[in-house]
Amino acid sequence: MSEERSVAIDVRDAVKRYGDFTALKQISVSIKDNEFFTLLGPSGCGKTTLLRMIAGFESVTEGEIYLYGQEIANLPPHQRPVNTVFQNYALFPHMTILDNIGFGLEMRGSSKADARKRAGEMLELVQLSQFASRKPSQLSGGQQQRVALARALAPRPKALLLDEPLSALDLKLRKAMQMELKHLQRETGITFVFVTHDQEEALTMSDRIAVMSAGELQQLGEARDIYERPRNMFVADFIGETNLLDVSVDKIVNGRAICHLGGGHELTCNEVEGVGVGSNVHMSVRPERLFISDEPTESESLKGKVLENIFAGTDITTIIDLADGPNFTVRTSNSDRGNKRIFEPGNEVFVNMELGAARLLVD
């Protein structure tokens, strides 16, 4: 992703209070032009509130929001250069698909002819031209969602705000729509701000992700960075699966922290500012970054015993018990199984990982 992109939406120290309750605590994020940006977090973390503040459906208690350089506190929703797609589509049931898209354009001052022309183009974009004269109830859930997208894109917003737009769809359709949305964003070059509580969806679709919990920003970065270098316990645990262990820092050598896991086992982790020798902290290592062997194969190697194997189609999950230490979950892909021995319960083995796979977490 190019770094020169200009800032589309700039949220500066935004606070949202509902009476005594603080739903957002000083959030700052800069969303770039043409970016697929995701607000990710569990239910109640404040992501919808932030999206609604950008859209203009909620006031900002403190702080500022700039859209393309313009402070928008006093701008009503319909005057902001953004449009929103809601979870429940909110299509007009008595209107045809074409009219559903054209209606909003006419409300904004387009002539009937222009509105119909633009609506037709939008239906083509979402590949629903053949359904132009149907009513929403005559379409599937996925098709209705595409109509909602076409309608939101029709007035040429600079940014599209999407509030859990795929959550009403079944898993298969949802996966297909994830790809479609991603393509649509690339094709139109419009900034997408996408809200979801589904970490896999966020990782699949986003250029960058802001992970939120309890009204606070936990980490902001590219999908891969967030997955591979989670900053804290919350992010490591919320995104993907991980081995989350209690460790104590024994030594700091050349910018690396040598950590004790119990039972005499040691691992080398990254050094973290503010975490000194003697600190009791948490460590995360992803199951797919671990390899099992009967001899140590990497500099980071821990001795243990296989407890069980769980077959899950594409991969096998193995639980390894370190003598007097914690358990590790190891994921071995089935695709390269020919090259890898599958160890049986009771086998004495080593759990190996590259230097850098184990990450210390700040809290």
Q: Does residue 287 come out as left (phi exceeding 0), alpha (psi in the -120 to 50 range) or beta?
A: alpha
Q: Which of residues 95 and 203 has its CB atom nearest to ligand ATP in the complex?
A: 203
- Which single residue brings its beta carbon nearest to ligand ATP? 48
Please report how close the Cβ of residue 46 comes to ligand ATP at its closest, in angstroms.
4
Q: Which of residues 47 and 80 has its CB atom nearest to ligand ATP in the complex?
A: 47
Do 235 and 218 contact (CB within 8 A), yes or no?
yes
| Joined tokens for residue 339 | 């090259």
Please report how close the Cβ of residue 169 comes to ligand ATP at its closest, in angstroms.
16
Beta bridge partners of 240: none
Please report how close the Cβ of residue 184 comes to ligand ATP at its closest, in angstroms.
23
Residue position matching structure tokens 């929403």: 136
Cα 80 to Cα 75: distance, rounded to the nearest angstrom: 7
Q: Which of residues 27 and 261 has its CB atom nearest to ligand ATP in the complex?
A: 27
Residue 363 is which amino acid?
D
Please report how close the Cβ of residue 47 comes to ligand ATP at its closest, in angstroms.
4
Please report how close the Cβ of residue 216 comes to ligand ATP at its closest, in angstroms.
12
User: For residues 52, 31, 363 and 270, what is the CA-based torsion angle, rounded to 10 degrees?
Assistant: 160
Q: Where are the beta strands (DSSP E) in the chain?
A: 7-18, 21-32, 36-40, 62-67, 70-71, 82-85, 159-163, 191-196, 208-213, 216-222, 243-253, 256-262, 265-270, 280-285, 291-293, 300-311, 315-322, 327-333, 348-353, 359-361
Q: Which of residues 128 and 239 has its CB atom nearest to ligand ATP in the complex?
A: 239
Q: Which of residues 46 and 240 has its CB atom nearest to ligand ATP in the complex?
A: 46
Q: Which of residues 118 and 174 has its CB atom nearest to ligand ATP in the complex?
A: 174
Residue position matching structure tokens 């605590």: 25
Cα 316 to Cα 149: distance, rounded to the nearest angstrom: 39
Q: Which of residues 43 and 137 has its CB atom nearest to ligand ATP in the complex?
A: 43
Cα 304 to Cα 351: distance, rounded to the nearest angstrom: 7
Q: DSSP string covering 33-83, please? A: TT-EEEEE-STTSSHHHHHHHHHTSS--SEEEEEETTEE-TT--GGGSSEE
Cα 144 to Cα 146: distance, rounded to the nearest angstrom: 5
Please report how close the Cβ of residue 201 comes to ligand ATP at its closest, in angstroms.
13
Please report how close the Cβ of residue 363 comes to ligand ATP at its closest, in angstroms.
21
Please report how close the Cβ of residue 197 comes to ligand ATP at its closest, in angstroms.
5
Please report how close the Cβ of residue 23 comes to ligand ATP at its closest, in angstroms.
3
Cα 184 to Cα 59: distance, rounded to the nearest angstrom: 30
By CB under 6 A, name the binding residues for ligand ATP: 18, 21, 23, 41, 43-49, 197
Cα 119 to Cα 121: distance, rounded to the nearest angstrom: 5
| Joined tokens for residue 338 | 């020919």
Q: Which of residues 238 and 328 has its CB atom nearest to ligand ATP in the complex?
A: 238
Q: Which of residues 206 and 268 has its CB atom nearest to ligand ATP in the complex?
A: 206
